């Protein structure tokens, strides 16, 4: 979230500087445009990373549920085995 806000502020700052400073040289304008493009790329990268993290979290939750189910099954099998041995 903090990275996203930082990227957003960089984009807004770049846009404001580019729009509000008509006295900038062509080189300065190009630098601002490049900075804005870099900020947009960083924002897109952050969105992709957030999506990948969410997907990984969902997969981890599913794996944990599978592990719990397998553990419960193993416990039932063990209990059944113990009852048969005692009989």
pLDDT recorded at residue 17: 64
Whether the per-residue pLDDT at 87 is higher than 70: the answer is: no
Q: Tell me the C-alpha distance between 3 and 46, whole Å.
A: 8
- Residue 62 scores a pLDDT above 70: yes
Mean pLDDT of all residues in 38-47: 96
Hey, is 1 helix, strand or coil? coil
Mean pLDDT confidence for 41-60: 97
pLDDT for res 21: 56
Give the mean model confidence (pLDDT) for residues 27-54.
Answer: 95
């Amino acid at each position: 979230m903090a990275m996203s806000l930082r990227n957003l502020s960089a984009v807004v700052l770049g846009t404001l500087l580019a729009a509000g400073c008509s006295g900038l040289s062509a080189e300065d304008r190009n630098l601002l445009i490049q900075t804005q493009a870099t900020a947009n790329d960083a924002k897109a990268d952050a969105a992709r990373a957030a999506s990948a993290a969410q997907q990984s979290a969902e997969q981890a939750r599913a794996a944990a549920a599978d592990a719990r189910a397998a553990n419960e099954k193993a416990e039932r099998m063990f209990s059944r085995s113990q009852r048969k041995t005692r009989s």
